[in-house]
């Protein structure tokens, strides 16, 4: 994303939009530290924790408890805490199988895996969430319920997400649109979906800026 500067304040929920091939997923992977190619820099405040939710969540082998707690240790939370998280994302029926060892990656459906990933969010309670098509396997009603849960349970979290469904705009405060160009992408619009009071404080914003193709720079206060 060349010659571009974008600042994101703590607590903002930003939707990254654009046509296929415009680099949306590449950009959010760079922000999450999962894309080593290109130029630029991604800088985070040392006290902020980031959590990435991809379209296909990783499900480790072992017990369901371990799968929900990942990447933390399985015993970091009590069974009651984990079951509460599962209930909030619509997986209460799995509570009785918490200590069961099974090939969960093959046992759970695509939608159940995405729900489980959202349960991880509730347990880890990060400061920044990066969502890359994280609700694509859910129907519209389930997607709405999932986003409502995250906004309600983690009201101060900063969200950067990529999604194609227009309905998700309702859960974001801002929309950034990228356009595919020769040699990279270009930011063509940056609009606020929910008006914010006062002017933006540059020192309290996340910034990704100019760099080579695929590059990003971001600071988070």
Please state, in angstroms and as integers, the Cα–Cα distance from residue 52 to each residue in 79, 86, 117, 134, 162, following that order: 24, 18, 9, 9, 12
Q: Is residue 102 part of a domain?
A: yes
Q: How many domains is the chain built from? A: 1
Residue 217 counted as domain residue: no
| 33 to 83, 134, 136, 175: CA distances (angstroms) | 30, 17, 22, 22
Q: What is the CATH number of the domain that holds 161?
A: 3.40.50.300
Q: Which of 20-29, 44-53, 212-221 has maximum average pLDDT?
A: 44-53
Domain assignment present for 221:
no
Look at residue 146 and tell me if it is in a domain.
yes
Question: Given this model, what pLDDT does residue 121 score?
Answer: 96
**Could you read off the pLDDT of 134-192 as tens digits, one per residue?**
999 999 999 999 999 999 999 999 999 998 788 899 999 999 988 888 877 888 888 88
Residue 215 belongs to some domain of the structure: no
Is residue 195 in some structural domain?
yes
Which range of residues forms the domain containing residue 182? 6-208
Any domain includes 155? yes
User: 196 falls in which pLDDT band (50, 70, 90)?
Assistant: low
DSSP state of 79: H
Q: How many CB atoms lie within 10 A of CB 54?
A: 18
Predicted TM-score (pTM) of this structure: 0.83
- Does a structural domain hold residue 220? no
Tell me what pLDDT residue 25 has: 83
pLDDT tens, residue by residue, 103-139:
999 999 999 999 999 999 999 999 999 999 999 999 9
């Amino acid at each position: 994303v060349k010659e571009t500067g974008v600042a994101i304040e703590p607590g903002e929920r930003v939707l990254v939009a654009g046509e296929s091939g415009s680099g949306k997923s590449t950009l959010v992977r760079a922000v999450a530290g999962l894309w080593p190619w290109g130029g630029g820099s991604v800088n985070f405040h040392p006290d902020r924790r980031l959590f990435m939710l991809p379209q296909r969540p990783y499900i480790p082998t072992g017990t369901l408890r371990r799968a929900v707690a990942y990447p933390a240790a399985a015993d970091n939370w009590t069974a009651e805490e984990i079951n509460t998280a599962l209930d909030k994302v619509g997986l209460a029926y799995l509570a009785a199988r918490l200590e069961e060892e099974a090939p969960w990656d093959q046992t759970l459906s695509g939608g159940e895996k995405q729900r489980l990933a959202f349960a991880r969010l509730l347990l880890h309670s990060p400061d920044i969430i990066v969502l890359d098509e994280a609700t694509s396997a859910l129907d519209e009603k389930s997607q709405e319920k999932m986003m409502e849960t995250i906004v309600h349970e983690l009201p101060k979290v900063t969200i950067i997400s990529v999604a194609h469904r227009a309905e998700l705009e309702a859960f974001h405060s801002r929309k950034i649109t990228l356009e595919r160009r020769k040699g990279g992408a270009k930011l063509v619009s940056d609009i606020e979906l929910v008006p914010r009071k006062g002017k933006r404080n540059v020192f309290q914003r996340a910034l990704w800026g100019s760099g080579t193709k695929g590059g990003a720079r971001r600071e988070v206060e």
